[in-house]
Amino acid sequence: MRVELFWQILENATVVRWDGKRKYCLVYLPGLGYRLYRREGHWVLLLVVGPEARRWAATFGVEVDGAAA
């Protein structure tokens, strides 16, 4: 998706956590759950949906402690 759409998604998120390089982002959306995204320039890729997103986020250096809905 275009990065502009991603910023709109973040406006509705209750949890937004980035890795140190701001490449990977863990997002919690009420009613939809967790999502893990990867930002690549002007594009953002959805990598993982659901509870698995939290586990994978830690693998990519995103701090997930306290990231509970």
Q: In what order do the strands lie in the sheet with 15-18?
A: 15-18, 24-29, 33-40, 43-49
Burial class of residue 46 in the structure, from the number of CB atoms within 10 Å of its CB (0-12 exposed, 13-18 middle, 19+ buried): middle
Q: What letter does residue 69 receive in the DSSP assignment?
A: -
Question: Could you list the pLDDT tens digit for every one of the 69 residues in the chain?
Answer: 999 999 999 999 999 999 999 999 999 999 999 999 999 999 999 999 999 999 999 999 998 876 544
Residue-wise DSSP of 1-62: -BHHHHHHHHHT-SEEEE-TTS-EEEEEETTTEEEEEEEETTEEEEEEESTHHHHHHHHTT-
pLDDT of residue 54: 94
pLDDT of residue 67: 54
pLDDT of residue 55: 93
